[in-house]
Amino acid sequence: MSVPGAWYLGLAAMLFTIGGVGLLIRRNVLIMFMCVELMLNAVNLTFVTFARMLNDIGGQVVVFFVLVVAAAEVVVGLAIIVSIFRRRTEATADDISLLKG
């Protein structure tokens, strides 16, 4: 018995929404970062689902690219977060508005 593709897509949409809303409403940089990861993986799930549904290997290939990019992003992002914590005790996004015009 296999789970219908629409369920996967619904799950992916839910994960994406959770990630997006979390990114918008949370202030903690680390949480926001994890929300971004959540959104990326929701997209990955969509890709895989469609690849299976349409019998096209291309979707799964793209997932590898996304994973690589996400890994690179994690490296850079975490490095930034670590250096923020070196200077301040907490990492609230609103406090770090140095690029305000």
Is residue 76 a contact point for another protein (CB under 8 A)? no
The two three-digit tokens of residue 72, written as one number = 């690179």
Q: How far is the C-alpha of 62 from the C-alpha of 81, rounded, in Å? A: 28
Least CB distance to another protein at residue 24 (A): 6
Q: Which pair of tokens denotes residue 100?
A: 């305000």
User: Hunting for tokens 């990630």 — which residue is that?
Assistant: 19
**Stretch in the footprint of another protein (CB under 8 A) among 5-13, 23-31, 41-49, 68-76:** 23-31
List the one residue from 12, 32, 38, 45 that touches another protein (CB under 8 A): 32
The answer to whether residues 48 and 59 touch, using CB atoms and an 8 Å cutoff, is yes
* CB 38, CB 19: distance < 8 Å: yes
Could you tell me which stretch among 6-14, 51-59, 74-82, 91-99 binds another protein (CB under 8 A)? 91-99
The residue within the footprint of another protein, chosen from 18, 23, 48, 81 (CB under 8 A), is 23
Say how far apart CA 1 and CA 16 lie, in whole Å. Answer: 27
By CB under 8 A, tell whether 20 contacts another protein: yes
Residues lying near another protein in the complex (CB under 8 A): 20, 23-25, 27, 32, 93-94, 96-101
